[in-house]
């Protein structure tokens, strides 16, 4: 009986060409696994294409809710943003995909998992660290790194290879943006984006929405409710997290929100330029932060900012299934106990404008914050506080003056 390999299958040209390549070079039985993370119409026609290319079976596994609840929300609660801009859309999905690939491999009794990530990118790291953490016994096959066996270097090569194996597919050799899409975002790389001196061609590039210039001239008010840091309702309507994100994508895309042009530092050491559309995610993270402003004390917010940056790095580097990741997420979860309330804002031409935030656990005290004197604050108390708070500065200044006088 032939050994089985589970192929992470997107239905694109790369992973389609990999199917006959695996059979020809390793004599594997190829089990394709497409993980539905919210790609939408990209999944249409995959079963016929996989079977036509030589796969014995295709799994299409819907993990949208799992992705939203178990991977996206911990990052939202942490405000995990990589290099101040990237909301980790691809990064968060990769460990969820790796886990599903391992589950299918165990179910099928496969001995290997294959992915189509290139040798220059981050995804090879994210997939493989996830697989190693969950199934260290499984072999990992990465064709693009096996240059002695994988000899194809272009789309033209892949198309010719498929044709030579009797596979005629609806792909052409024309180059387009390299994209990755899920419920959280869509990323764009390639073409003019490879030159940082060039402005993105947004008219051709954008998929989830419009540029701020093309957004409506009228703003739109929305409200979101949270319970313990989790969104539970949008505009008063109860929804699960995935439904809220999808609706926010629609609203955010309409108003030109969440478009980021970034040159980021990849794990493998190079800089890369890409444009990310994250309309719903940008709104959700901003709403969550607005609520935390009311609820979290200063010291917790300071520590949480450090933990958010740490989690962003952990997730970006593919280290989801690690003790450190678990520990950081546990800290973040502990901070969310009272992050409950309602946030209102206006969406307008790429902007998210505050329109009021309320919480039963707000630490904002009008008596304290008001310019008029309240019952809880005595202005005279500030005298002693400033004396002690500024004592190190005063002592140093006195010493420096003494040194200068003795020269």
Residue 372 confidence (pLDDT): 65
Which tens digits make up the pLDDT trace of 358-379?
A: 999 999 987 776 666 667 778 8
27 given a catalytic annotation:
no
Type and span of the H or E element at 87: none
Residue 131, both tokens: 């697989």
Of the listed 10, 36, 91, 94, which one is catalytic?
94
Residue 297 confidence (pLDDT): 97
44 given a catalytic annotation:
no
The count of other CB atoms within 10 Å of the CB of residue 270 is 10
Sign of the torsion formed by the C-alpha atoms of 299, 302, 305 and 306: negative
Of the listed 56, 155, 178, 261, which one is catalytic?
178
Domain ranges, ordered by start, for the chain: 4-70+87-164, 178-296+339-358, 369-398
What are the φ and ψ backbone dihedral angles of 362, each rounded to 5 degrees? -60, 140
- Stretch 171-195: mean pLDDT, rounded? 90
Residue 209 confidence (pLDDT): 97
Alpha carbon distances (Å) from 26 to 114, 218, 275, 369: 12, 59, 37, 70
Percent of the chain with pLDDT over 90: 87
DSSP states along 286-337? HHHHHHHHHHS-HHHHHHHHHHHHHHHHHHHTT--SSHHHHHHHHHHHHHTT
Helices (H), 180-297: 202-205, 241-254, 279-295
Residue 67 confidence (pLDDT): 98
- Stretch 329-352: mean pLDDT, rounded? 98
pLDDT band at residue 87 under the 50/70/90 scheme: very high
Is the model's pLDDT at 101 over the cut of 90?
Answer: yes
Residues 6 or more apart whose Cβ sits within 8 Å of residue 108: 4, 6, 31, 57
14 given a catalytic annotation:
yes
Beta bridge partners of 8: 33
Residue 52, both tokens: 């036509």
Which tens digits make up the pLDDT trace of 40-77?
A: 887 888 888 898 899 999 999 999 999 999 999 999 99
Residue-wise over 248-268: b if at least 16 C-beta within 10 A, else e?
bbebbbbbbbbbbeeebeebe
Residue among 185, 234, 252, 232 at smallest CA distance from 336: 232
Residue among 46, 43, 134 at smallest CA distance from 97: 134
Which tens digits make up the pLDDT trace of 13-31?
A: 899 999 999 999 999 999 9
Q: Of the given ranges (169-173, 228-232, 235-239, 356-360), which has the lowest mean pLDDT?
A: 169-173
Q: Give the span between the Cα atoms of 95 and 48, in whole angstroms.
A: 27
Residue 373 confidence (pLDDT): 60
Mean confidence (pLDDT) of the chain: 95
Residue 368 confidence (pLDDT): 74
Which tens digits make up the pLDDT trace of 320-338?
A: 999 999 999 999 999 999 9
- Stretch 192-207: mean pLDDT, rounded? 96
Residue 406 confidence (pLDDT): 93
Residue 230 confidence (pLDDT): 98
Its CATH class, for the domain covering 4-70+87-164, is: alpha beta
pLDDT band at residue 407 under the 50/70/90 scheme: confident
Of the listed 123, 126, 225, 273, which one is catalytic?
123
CA dihedral in degrees (294, 297, 300, 301; nearest 10)? 40
Type and span of the H or E element at 273: strand 271-277
Residue 22 confidence (pLDDT): 97
Residue 265 confidence (pLDDT): 98
Q: Give the span between the Cα atoms of 146 and 129, in whole angstroms.
A: 18
Is the model's pLDDT at 183 over the cut of 80?
Answer: yes
Can you count the helices (H) and strands (E) in the chain? 15, 14
Question: pTM for the complete prediction?
Answer: 0.94
On whether the CB atoms of residues 155 and 175 are closer than 8 A, the answer is yes
Which tens digits make up the pLDDT trace of 244-271?
A: 999 999 999 999 999 999 999 999 999 9
Output the CATH code of domain 178-296+339-358: 3.90.1260.10
Residues 6 or more apart whose Cβ sits within 8 Å of residue 137: none
176 given a catalytic annotation:
no
Is the model's pLDDT at 173 over the cut of 80?
Answer: no
Q: Give the span between the Cα atoms of 354 and 357, in whole angstroms.
A: 8
Q: Give the span between the Cα atoms of 183 and 240, in whole angstroms.
A: 13
| More confident: 94 or 175 | 94
Q: Give the span between the Cα atoms of 246 and 311, in whole angstroms.
A: 24
Type and span of the H or E element at 278: none
Beta bridge partners of 58: 32
On whether the CB atoms of residues 225 and 341 are closer than 8 A, the answer is yes
Which tens digits make up the pLDDT trace of 276-334?
A: 999 999 999 999 999 999 999 999 999 999 999 999 999 999 999 999 999 999 999 99
């Amino acid at each position: 009986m032939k050994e089985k390999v589970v192929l992470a299958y997107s239905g694109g040209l790369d992973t389609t060409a990999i199917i006959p390549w695996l059979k020809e070079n390793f004599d594997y039985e190829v089990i394709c696994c497409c993980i539905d993370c919210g790609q939408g119409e990209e999944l249409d026609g995959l079963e016929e294409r996989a079977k036509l290319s030589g796969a014995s079976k295709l799994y299409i596994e819907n993990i949208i809710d799992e992705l939203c609840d178990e991977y996206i929300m911990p990052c939202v609660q942490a405000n995990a943003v990589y290099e101040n801009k990237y909301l980790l859309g691809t990064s968060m999905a990769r460990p969820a995909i790796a886990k599903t690939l391992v589950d299918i491999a165990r179910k099928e009794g496969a001995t290997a998992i294959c992915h189509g990530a290139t040798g220059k990118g981050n995804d090879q790291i994210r997939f493989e660290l996830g697989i190693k953490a969950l199934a260290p016994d499984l072999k990992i096959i990465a064709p693009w790194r096996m240059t002695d066996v994988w000899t194809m270097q272009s789309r033209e090569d892949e198309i010719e290879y498929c044709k030579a194996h009797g596979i005629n597919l609806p792909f052409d050799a024309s180059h387009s943006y390299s994209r990755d899409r899920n419920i959280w975002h869509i990323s764009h790389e390639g073409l003019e984006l490879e030159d940082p001196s060039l402005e993105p061609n947004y008219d051709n590039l954008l998929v989830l929405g419009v540029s701020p210039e093309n957004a409506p001239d009228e703003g739109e008010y929305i409200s979101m409710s949270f319970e313990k840091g989790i969104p539970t309702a949008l505009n008063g309507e109860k929804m699960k997290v995935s439904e809220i994100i999808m609706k926010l994508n629609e609203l955010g895309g309409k108003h030109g929100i969440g478009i980021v042009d970034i040159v980021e530092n990849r794990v493998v050491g190079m800089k890369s330029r890409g444009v990310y559309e994250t309309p719903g995610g940008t709104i959700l993270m901003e709403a969550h932060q607005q609520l935390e402003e009311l609820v979290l004390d200063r010291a917790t917010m300071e520590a949480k900012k450090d933990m958010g940056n740490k989690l962003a790095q952990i997730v970006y580097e593919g280290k989801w299934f690690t003790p450190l990741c678990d520990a950081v997420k546990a800290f973040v979860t502990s901070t969310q106990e009272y992050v409950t309330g309602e946030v209102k804002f206006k969406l307008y031409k790429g902007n998210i404008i505050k329109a009021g935030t309320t919480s039963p656990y707000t630490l904002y005290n009008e008596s304290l914050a008001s310019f008029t004197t309240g019952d809880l604050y005595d202005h005279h108390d500030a005298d002693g506080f400033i004396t002690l708070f500024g004592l190190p500065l005063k002592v140093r200044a006195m010493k420096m003056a003494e040194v200068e006088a003795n020269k």
